[in-house]
Amino acid sequence: MTMLSFLAYEGKAAIALTVFYMFYRLLLKKESFHRLNRMALVGMVVVSFLLPLCIITVHKPMETAPAEVRMQATERASAAPWWPMALTILFWAGVVFVLAREVISILSVIRIIRRSQFVLEEDGSQVFVTEREIDPFSWMRFIVLSQKDWASPHETILTHEKAHVRCRHSVDLLLVDTLTAFQWFNPAIWMLRMDLQEIHEYEADEAVLQSGADIKEYQYLLVRKAVGKSGYSVANSLNHSILKNRITMMSKTKSPRSSGFRVLWLLPVVCLGIFLQARTVYVPQGKQEQRNHRKIEPVTEVDGTLFLPESAKELLILRNGKGEESRITRKEHNELPANRLKHLEIIRGSSAIEKYGPDARNGVIIIELEEPEDSDRQ
């Protein structure tokens, strides 16, 4: 995959992610199916990156183009403008910046944990008490509290953070943050990440209330804690900027189960995405039935002409009507009469190396031409 192809892939993933996220905002965001919504958001991110790779190829017969036209198409395809390199540099600069910020955030959390006092709870929870004035937060299987919070009644706080640990919310964030680095230019993934954190808080709040905590006292605790910030993007914190939404969600009537079936609307959206990814490649007219031994490599269409891509690294073999084979160069291939193309065959793997030697490690393309008419021989 060339860099330009990779950037095109990123663009397709961005479009898919934006469409999926709009679907979530319209149909699922206001529902109280926290676990379902969480799975939907994480699934949308993963599917958005996989969908551009699901390409349906349709083969259609087509008359071959003259060799001169094919050579012109190859020259146009091989001409590299300056802007792909500029986009490449800009893209990777953004990726490195986001990943570096993520690594710094993780290292900051690890440093706090290492400098904190370790406390093992009866249920096996690992709590670290730090002297720093920070908001309670959890990361992976670790829970961090300040000395002040530890000295005060902290059962509700621990219940909240234990819910984050039990549900493995940090794994969600780590996965989404890593993929966010490759979609840093897409506002949809940043909004999706915020909604995912919001759902994490909803799940933890629900666990606290199910443990028997008084809803009014718990909401008051959230208001008091709202003045502080943990400051670590990779951590799940008791405090969050969505306090109003959390309090509203606690008092909201549970959504009917039938509303959860809205997620099934994702299926036709995914199918539509796969359909739009379909591409057509053309093979010489009347030669499709001659595929044998291995899959025939289709000739790619560019601007209505047929040519062998410059990126092809296979060994080129010319076979005459008597079955005799000889190696040819790319230049010699481009001089072949395309209107006499009879058969294209590709062989890969150990069978290619055994027959044609180490030069065939990238595969072998065998070109067979039709015998010229008598008039052409004269």
pLDDT (0 to 100) of residue 308: 62
Are 52 and 13 within 8 A, CB to CB? yes
pLDDT (0 to 100) of residue 145: 93
| CA within 13 Å, CB half, 60 | 10
pLDDT (0 to 100) of residue 201: 92
Q: Which of 28-42, 134-148, 159-173, 247-261 has the lowest mean pLDDT?
A: 247-261
> Could you tell me what percent of the chain has a pLDDT over 70?
76
CA–CA gap between residue 124 and residue 138 (Å, rounded): 15
pLDDT band at 171 (very low <50, low <70, confident <90, very high): very high
The amino acid that residue 102 corresponds to is E
* Mean pLDDT value of segment 85-111: 94
For residue 291, is pLDDT > 50? no
* Mean pLDDT value of segment 201-214: 91
Residue predicted with more confidence, 306 or 111 = 111
Tell me the pLDDT tens digit for each residue of 45-90.
Answer: 999 999 888 877 665 665 544 444 445 445 554 555 777 788 899 9
pLDDT band at 301 (very low <50, low <70, confident <90, very high): very low
- Pick from 28, 211, 221: nearest CA to 136: 221
Q: Give Dmax over CA atoms of the chain in angstroms.
A: 102
pLDDT (0 to 100) of residue 280: 58
Distances (CA, A) of 78 to 7, 73, 308, 338: 17, 9, 11, 20
- Pick from 114, 128, 132, 116: nearest CA to 161: 128
Paired residues of 283 in beta bridges:
61
pLDDT (0 to 100) of residue 286: 47
* Mean pLDDT value of segment 200-224: 89
pLDDT (0 to 100) of residue 296: 40
Residue predicted with more confidence, 204 or 261 = 204
pLDDT (0 to 100) of residue 288: 45
